[in-house]
Amino acid sequence: MPELPEVETVVRELNKKLKGRLVKVVVVNSPKMVGVGPATLSPKRQIEVEKVKRFIGTIKGKEFVSVTRRAKLLIFNLSGSWSMLVHLKMTGQFIFEDAKLQERTQGFYRLLNKPHAPLVKMPSKHTHVVFKFTDGSVLYFNDVRKFGYMKLVHDKEMGQVRELQEFGPEPLNKNFTELCFFTAVKKHNRRQIKEILMDNKVVAGIGNIYSDEILFHARVRPNRKAVGIKNYELSNIYKYIKPVLLKGIQAKGSSVGDFVRTDGSVGQMGKYHFVYGKRGRKCKKCGTIIESIKVGGRTGSYCPSCQK
Ligand SMILES: [Zn+2]
């Protein structure tokens, strides 16, 4: 699942590419993935013809003004006081194709970071929404698992979007202080530290990959209960949150899963993983074999020598 660095990579790329583009045509192939209004799209999303018509009718003719992010939610600011909120969930991907990229790729992309993954032609059977702009460029929204969503919300209803109210502090912002982190963690004394780091209400945007990597650098095992973690260890965890996430952004995300950048190329963060996805391999620091353990239904990987 894309985490803060992957989503931030998409945000920065699309912000540059979409700015000032006017939506001419919208194609919705999977009605259950789109919505209009602040309400949460339920898992049993109804297929409503009217809703799709409203989605298309609302966004057609709008200009993409800017793209921002809150936690793992992408916020596309549109002209006319509307925003489009997009969650990539497990396997959501955006591909932005203009004449230059079309010339380079002929419309074919390798959307999985596997050497033998086939090239797929856009739009593919996993393309659920297509935005065509007046200048001929196209934005494709792909999602193999179909857990992602996009919904249009008017600015005056943004306060009613529940996801936005529930997110904890942004770890890259100045207001995410050590005190704020300590206070949030202490509220969850009985839970395991990896689980707490992945809780978007404690700190926004960290998932399986980056919680593993942060805990490796902080030398704390993922399954330790918060109550038993000493203050200096908690301090170390806090200290590594920002640099690990920034490294992820600098490397344009990790493509160990299904993540690809908006031109179909892969992020390089995978090269810098110390423990995530490394079970059975040697620790880059000490040579001990990396182990893994279940934490809150997820798998946490750690070095039994480096992490206590
Ligand atoms: Zn080690």
**pLDDT at 221 > cutoff 80:** yes
**pLDDT at 43 > cutoff 60:** no
Q: How confident is the model at residue 111 (pLDDT cuts 50, 70, 90)?
A: confident
Q: 73 - beta bridge partners? A: 70, 87
pLDDT computed for residue 42 by the predictor: 66
Point out the catalytic residue in the list 51, 72, 252, 261. 72
Q: 221 - beta bridge partners? A: none
Query: Domain 4-166 falls in which CATH fold?
Result: N-terminal domain of MutM-like DNA repair proteins (3.20.190)
Point out the catalytic residue in the list 3, 6, 97, 195. 3
**pLDDT at 49 > cutoff 90:** no
Q: Are 206 and 3 in contact (CB under 8 A)?
A: yes
Task: Report CA(274)–ligand 1 centroid distance (Å).
Answer: 9
Q: Is 110 a catalytic residue?
A: no
**Distance (Å, rounded) from C-alpha 33 to C-alpha 64?**
20
Q: Is 261 a catalytic residue?
A: no
Q: Where along the chain do the CATH 3.20.190.10 domains lie?
A: 4-166
Q: Is 233 a catalytic residue?
A: no
**pLDDT at 65 > cutoff 60:** yes
Beta strand pairing call for 92-97 and 82-87: unpaired
Strand ranges for 92-134 from DSSP E:
92-97, 108-109, 120-121, 127-133
**pLDDT at 285 > cutoff 80:** yes
Q: Where along the chain do the CATH 1.10.8.50 domains lie?
A: 178-302
Task: Report CA(216)–ligand 1 centroid distance (Å).
Answer: 8
Task: Report CA(278)–ligand 1 centroid distance (Å).
Answer: 12
How much of the chain, in percent, has pLDDT values that exceed 90? 90
Pick the CATH number of 178-302 from 3.40.120.10, 3.40.109.10, 1.10.8.50, 3.40.50.300: 1.10.8.50
145: how many CB neighbours lie within 10 A of its CB?
A: 12
Cα dihedral 246, 202, 261, 133 in deg (nearest 10): -120
**pLDDT at 50 > cutoff 80:** yes
Task: Report CA(298)–ligand 1 centroid distance (Å).
Answer: 21
Q: Is 281 a catalytic residue?
A: no
What's the pTM value of the predicted model, to 2 decimals? 0.96
Q: How confident is the model at residue 47 (pLDDT cuts 50, 70, 90)?
A: low
Question: What is the average pLDDT across 120-144?
Answer: 96
Beta strand pairing call for 108-109 and 92-97: unpaired
